[in-house]
């Protein structure tokens, strides 16, 4: 982390704010491009200071998140994770139809605890039907397992990391205070704004082909030179007019 440290005061390393801004700007550009290319982002922040900010901003831009506990195999064993989400949907359906009350008191309580546990661990990724295009992580040391899984699957990682981390482990490091609630909130909000911009670009790309197709169809038929069929029709009409004129005389 030496290139990102401005100085040292009272045994505390001070991060160079210019390097922090560079990391944020590079991350915003990368995220906007990634989302515009129809890829989703998974935001991971399970520490207490990051949970609320991660959940609120992820839901604001309709992206996936993990803010309670990273389950091993979330990326490397994604098929099994999808099965657990299917189990969650089944239990929620039973609960909505009041069918859990038909079980014994012990069994019903066990099923409700299972449903609550899955909701807490996988609620933020229940709509994630494919692997994400990139990972946005808060605190490298705490989320090291998530980063390892992402690297194994070839998924790029953006990480907010402090001076006790290794920036070479991630693809785009953002040097900053990963323990302060306010600092985490600012960084997550800025990056989610870039994700929102990418979503807007994605929507424009989806609309453009349809609009272009409607306009190109008539444009392709525009031709000042009449076609052979048009010329034949015109000649037949002219001949018919001559015949009618002669008959009238």
The whole-number pLDDT of residue 82 equals 94
Is the pLDDT at 57 greater than 70? The verdict is: yes
Give mean pLDDT, residues 28-54.
95
Residue 137 has pLDDT above 60, yes or no: yes
CA 249 to chain centre: 80
Q: What is the CATH number of domain 2-75+131-204?
A: 3.40.50.10490
Check whether 168 has a pLDDT greater than 50. yes
| CB-based contact 165:147 (threshold 8 Å) | no
pLDDT for res 156: 96
Using CA atoms, how far apart are residues 170 and 144, in angstroms rounded to an integer?
Answer: 10
Query: What's the DSSP call for residue 103?
Result: S
Does the pLDDT at position 30 exceed 80? yes
In order of 79, 81, 92, 196, 231, the CA distances from 111 in angstroms are: 22, 18, 10, 37, 78
In 3-state terms the chain splits into helix, strand, coil percentages (rounded to 5) of 60, 10, 25
Buried b (16+ CB within 10 A) or exposed e, 195-231: bbbbbeebeeeeeeeeeeeeeeeeeeeeeeeeeeeee
Tokens 């661990």 -> residue: 121
Task: Give the 3-state secondary structure of residue 43.
Answer: strand
CA–CA separation, 138 vs 167, rounded Å?
13
Q: Which two tokens stand for residue 203?
A: 């929507």
Give yes or no for a contact between 156 and 134, defined as CB atoms under 8 angstroms apart. yes
Q: What are phi and psi of 76, to 5 degrees?
A: -75, -20
- The alpha carbon of residue 98 and the mean position of all alpha carbons in its chain are separated, in whole angstroms, by 34
> What is the domain partition of the chain in residue ranges?
2-75+131-204
Q: Helices then strands (H, E): number in the chain? A: 7, 7
What confidence category does residue 221 fall into, taking pLDDT thresholds of 50, 70 and 90?
Answer: very low
Among residues 47, 2, 24, which one has the least CA distance to residue 164?
Answer: 2
Q: What is the mean pLDDT of residues 172-185?
A: 94
Percent of the chain with pLDDT over 70: 84
Nearest alpha carbon to residue 74 among 111, 121, 141: 121
Range with lowest mean pLDDT among 30-39, 173-182, 217-226: 217-226
């Amino acid at each position: 982390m030496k290139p990102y440290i401005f100085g040292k005061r009272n045994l505390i390393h001070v991060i160079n704010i210019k390097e922090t801004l560079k990391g944020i700007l590079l991350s915003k550009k990368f995220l906007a491009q990634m989302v515009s290319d129809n890829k989703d982002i998974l935001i991971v922040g399970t520490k207490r200071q990051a949970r609320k900010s991660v959940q609120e901003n992820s839901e604001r831009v309709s992206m996936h998140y993990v803010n309670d506990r990273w389950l091993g195999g979330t990326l490397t064993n994604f098929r099994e994770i999808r099965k657990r989400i299917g189990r969650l949907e089944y239990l929620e359906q039973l609960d909505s139809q009041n069918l859990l009350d038909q079980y014994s008191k012990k069994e019903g309580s066990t099923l409700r605890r299972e449903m609550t546990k899955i909701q807490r661990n996988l609620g933020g990724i229940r709509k994630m039907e494919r692997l994400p295009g990139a990972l946005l992580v808060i605190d490298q040391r705490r989320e090291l397992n998530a980063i390892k899984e992402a690297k194994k699957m070839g998924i790029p990682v953006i990480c907010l990391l402090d001076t006790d981390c290794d920036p070479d482990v991630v693809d785009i490091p953002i040097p900053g205070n990963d323990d302060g609630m306010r600092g985490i909130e600012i960084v997550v909000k800025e990056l989610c704004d870039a994700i929102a911009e990418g979503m807007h670009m994605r929507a424009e790309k989806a609309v453009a082909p349809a609009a272009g197709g409607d306009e190109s169809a008539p444009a392709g038929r525009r031709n000042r030179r009449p076609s052979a069929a048009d010329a034949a029709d015109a000649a037949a009409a002219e001949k018919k007019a001559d015949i009618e004129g002669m008959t009238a005389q």
